[in-house]
Amino acid sequence: MKCYAVCQSEAVVRILAESLSTSFDIDFLVENKALARRLHEAGLSVTGGDPQRTDTYLKAGIGPGTCLVVEDGGKKSLRKTLEAIRDAGGTLTYVLGIGPADPAKREDELKALFPEINYFTMSELAGVPLLTEVSRSLTRSRVLQYQRFFSDADRVLILLHNDPDPDAMASGLALRSVLRRTKQTAIIGALHGVTRPENLRMMNLLDIQVEPITPEQIATFDRVALVDVQPHYFGGIVDRVDLVVDHHPEQTGYSAVFKDIRSSYGSTSTILTEHLRAVDANISERTATAMLYAIKSDTLFFNRQANSVDIDAFSYLYPLADATMIRKMEGAEITLERLDYVLRARQAGQLVDQVFCAFVGTSPREDFIPYVADFYLQLEDVRWTIIAGIVNDSLVTSVRTLGYGKHAGEFVRRYFADIGSAGGHRAMAKAVVPLRAFRDKYGNLQAEQVTGKILELALDFLHDHHPSERRLVRA
């Protein structure tokens, strides 16, 4: 495609020439004859001419298909230039603002006269990649520091949350690569092992070993790192750690030598992809496959709590991973046992105002509850799902939302934080409350009344503009 750039400064000519010449056939027009000659001698296709004259453009042969880039140094004369271009038949015009005092105002003024132009500024162009670069070097220095801190340890423990999910396991593998260790020198462990069928399948297919760890054993390691979880989760068992990498909202009340907590990220694997990239670490096919699967499953394939960093990590890992293996792991989602709970929820559930709520009774495993919550969120006309069930004398409640409107984490905190543990993101949250405490607060309800009670709380919450909401978000 042909591009014609009208410039005043040498720097802009050189930047455009370097960035556009691979995709465009680019010619420059420069008013200053001496500058034009110098750039021409440097091998660029530059002519000297008057940018305010229509015949300058006619001579250059511009047409409706020519892409015009016009440097805007803030001078009044720009209007005449734009008029001349328009009169010569130019329609694809991009104005590049170089340091206007108020870019939005300048854009408005120009668009009032020339509605067809596109306006953008140099900082818009350079800002995002520059920011990416700079934050990459911040990550790099952080990673180099903790790598050094871990380097002289004999035995390292990478501790995961209970019933580790794909993100936890993938993050374990990723951190082991960042630390340049093997499974002998950095053990991936958990206090309670993997139980969910698709997670077991991932573990087996990728040959990931999650060692069972007892609370007493933790102190025997030289260094302890936590991934996809923070120390408060372990309720006092782990209060001092060497490293925490997590994407859950940041908690206080523990000490960590190093931590990297980014709650706007869709997965811990996304953060660790950045760590690996920042130090140019080698990512094995197995680790890439695990991380790719983790990003997919933690963000429900970008349907929930994902942002551009997750997509960026995903596209980076994709060519390194084994896509067939991922398809195999995904096949394990639906099981007959799980369908049982989906049916229970169908029988007990109520759908009111786009909120689907169900108490599914006693469940031998916790994962049935979030599974059912995810399942019903797929229904047309459902924006919130709240599924509760009893696991080991506790009422476990999973909340899923389509990610807009009210905050799921805030909902569980408001009603359950005082009697148990409750927390989560905007789009997904969980509460675990001892059954006795639930009964003390909400009455000794019959099974069939629990659905109604929770639905009532949800509708209250969703239709209420409570003044203390802001406080609760931060709680």
Least distance (Å) between residue 273 CB and Mn ion: 13
Tokens of residue 202, six digits: 């991932």
Q: Which of residues 281-310 bind Mn ion (CB under 5 A)?
A: 298
Grouping H, G, I as helix, E, B as strand and the rest as coil, residue 436 is helix
Q: How far is the CB of 195 from Mn ion (least distance, A)?
A: 17
From residue 212 to residue 241, what is the string marking binding to Mn ion with x (rule CB under 5 A)? ----------------x-------------
Which pair of tokens denotes residue 116?
A: 């067809």
Q: Which is nearer to Mn ion, 66 or 230 (CB)?
A: 230
* Residues in Cβ contact with 324 at an 8 Å cutoff, skipping those fewer than 6 apart: none
Residue nearest to Mn ion (CB): 167
Closest distance of CB 246 from Mn ion, Å: 8
CB 325 within 8 A of CB 289: yes
Q: Do the bridges between strand 428-434 and strand 421-424 make them parallel or antiparallel, or are there none, so unpaired?
A: antiparallel
Q: Nearest distance from residue 101's CB to Mn ion, in Å?
A: 44
**Cβ 174 vs Cβ 271: under 8 Å:** no
Q: Tell the smallest beta-carbon distance from residue 18 to Mn ion (Å).
A: 40
Work out which of 167, 260, 366, 374 binds Mn ion, going by CB under 5 A. 167
Phi, psi of 274 (to 5 degrees): -65, -40
Of 294 and 342, the one with the shorter C-beta distance to Mn ion is: 294
Please report, as a single letter, which amino acid is at residue 3: C
If the CB atoms of residues 244 and 342 are measured against Mn ion, the closer one turns out to be: 244
Nearer to Mn ion, 268 or 289 (CB): 268
As measured in angstroms, the least distance from the Cβ of 160 to Mn ion is: 10
Distance CA 134, CA 151 (A): 26
* Shortest distance, position 83 Cβ to Mn ion, whole Å: 56
Nearer residue to Mn ion within complex by CB, 267 or 273:
267
Nearer to Mn ion, 300 or 358 (CB): 300
Among residues 8 and 267, whose Cβ is nearest to Mn ion?
267
Our measurement of the distance from residue 442's CA atom to the centroid of its chain's CA atoms, rounded to an integer in Å, reads: 37
Among 45-53, 264-272, 306-314, 338-346, the segment contacting Mn ion (CB under 5 A): 264-272
What are the beta bridge partners of residue 42?
none
Listed ranges 154-162, 163-171, 371-379, 448-456: which one lies at the site for Mn ion (CB under 5 A): 163-171
Phi, psi of 451 (to 5 degrees): -55, -45
Say how far apart CA 368 and CA 446 lie, in whole Å.
21
* Residue among 257, 274, 256 nearest 265 (CA): 274
Show Cβ contacts of residue 294 under 8 Å, excluding neighbours closer than 6 positions. Answer: 165, 166, 167, 169, 170, 171, 267, 268, 269
Q: Which residues bind Mn ion (CB under 5 A)?
A: 167, 228, 267-268, 298
